[in-house]
């Protein structure tokens, strides 16, 4: 049985692959990457490295040949491009006779009001339409999305947000990756939807966790949407991303990522790492760089 992971030279995909190798599945593992020369270490470990680009259907026909179980890792681009890329990959999987697709979606994909959730709704719909048995891995927010706040706290600055008392089910990327690896490595996940969430917490609680990790208080400054958009514009973020990030904070305030679920426990045998522990780990990583 061949298991294939796309995006395997990305941060998430590489963690999934590492766990699958750890589980002894390296011999039946293939990866699809845009630049095989960046996957030399995987090749050295016996992984079948294939070239595949979701913008190039012919490359996917080759990459997905003989694959039974596919982990489709969502790509990074504007919504229209990602939807097109994902549909191309799903069609290539169908044509190759893939028997199971797990897809990295977003929490509450059906009703999630975030602009980026449109990609995941469209992709889930395309997978359902393909008729291929599936698992939707509806990931909540990566704690790593808040690296800017970790850096601000390390520099002694306040966390400035317009997300108010909105709660987020943060978890470390590594925990989402363990859940994905569990779904790829074990049976019984056909046509299941997993809402993968850490215990929901506010930005005040994130600030408190950062304060605990740093051993000094970290201030959280609550600002309105306009002031937040202004601060994003001055942060060096590309201009087209400013409204996207501003929208996220507004929707988080309105509850877009506030979800409680025990699906991590089901897949990895424990809940996501608690916020204080996860934040301490992230601070440690940033300090080591």
Ligand X SMILES: NC(=O)c1ccc[n+]([C@@H]2O[C@H](COP(=O)([O-])OP(=O)(O)OC[C@H]3O[C@@H](n4cnc5c(N)ncnc54)[C@H](OP(=O)(O)O)[C@@H]3O)[C@@H](O)[C@H]2O)c1
Q: Which residues pair with 4 in a beta bridge?
A: 30, 70
Structure tokens that stand for 252 in this block: 């988080």
By CB under 6 A, name the one of 141, 194, 228, 264 that touches ligand X. 141
| Positions 195 through 234 that interact with ligand X (CB under 6 A) | none
By CB under 6 A, name the one of 51, 142, 204, 212 that touches ligand X. 142
By CB under 6 A, name the one of 7, 169, 198, 207 that touches ligand X. 7
Q: Binding of ligand X at residue 261 (CB under 6 A)?
A: no
**Interface segment toward ligand X; rule CB under 6 A; list 5-13, 90-98, 179-187, 189-197:** 5-13
Give the distance, in angstroms, between the CA of residue 225 and the centroid of all CA atoms in the same chain.
25
Q: Binding of ligand X at residue 191 (CB under 6 A)?
A: no
| Positions 160 through 179 that interact with ligand X (CB under 6 A) | 173
Residue whose CB is nearest to ligand X in the complex, by number: 10
Structure tokens that stand for 117 in this block: 């959730």
Binding mask 88-127 for ligand X (x = CB under 6 A): ----------------x-x---------------------
Whole-angstrom Cα Rg for the chain: 19
57, 189, 126, 97 alpha-carbon torsion, rounded to 10°? 40
User: How many DSSP H helices and E strands does the chain contain?
Assistant: 12, 9
Residues lying near ligand X in the complex (CB under 6 A) are found at 6-7, 9-13, 33-35, 53-55, 73-76, 85, 104, 106, 139, 141-142, 145, 173
């Amino acid at each position: 049985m061949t298991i294939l992971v796309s995006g395997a030279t990305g941060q998430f995909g590489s963690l999934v692959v590492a766990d699958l190798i750890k589980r002894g599945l390296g011999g039946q593992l293939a990866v699809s990457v845009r630049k095989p020369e960046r996957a030399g270490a995987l090749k050295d470990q016996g992984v079948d490295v294939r070239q595949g680009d979701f913008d190039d259907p012919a490359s996917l026909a080759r990459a997905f040949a003989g694959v039974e179980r596919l982990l489709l890792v969502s790509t990074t681009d504007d919504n229209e491009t990602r939807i097109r890329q994902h549909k191309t990959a799903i069609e290539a999987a169908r044509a190759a006779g893939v028997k199971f697709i797990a897809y990295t979606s977003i929490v509450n994909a059906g009703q999630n009001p975030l602009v980026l959730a449109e990609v995941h709704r469209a992709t889930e719909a395309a997978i359902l339409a393909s008729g291929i048995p599936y698992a939707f891995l509806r990931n909540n927010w990566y704690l790593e999305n808040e690296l800017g706040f970790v850096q601000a706290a390390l520099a002694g600055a306040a966390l400035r947000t317009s997300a108010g008392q909105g709660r987020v089910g943060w978890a470390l990327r590594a925990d989402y990756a363990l859940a994905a690896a569990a779904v790829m490595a074990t049976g019984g996940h056909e046509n299941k939807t997993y809402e993968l969430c850490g215990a929901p917490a506010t930005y005040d609680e994130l600030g408190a966790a950062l304060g605990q990790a740093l051993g000094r208080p970290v201030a959280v400054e609550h600002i309105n949407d306009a002031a937040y958009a202004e601060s994003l514009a001055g942060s060096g973020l590309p201009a087209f991303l400013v409204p996207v990030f501003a929208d996220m904070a507004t929707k988080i305030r309105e509850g877009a990522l506030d979800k409680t679920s025990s699906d991590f426990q089901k897949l990895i045998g424990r809940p996501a790492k608690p916020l204080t522990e996860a934040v301490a780990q992230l601070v440690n990583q940033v300090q080591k760089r």
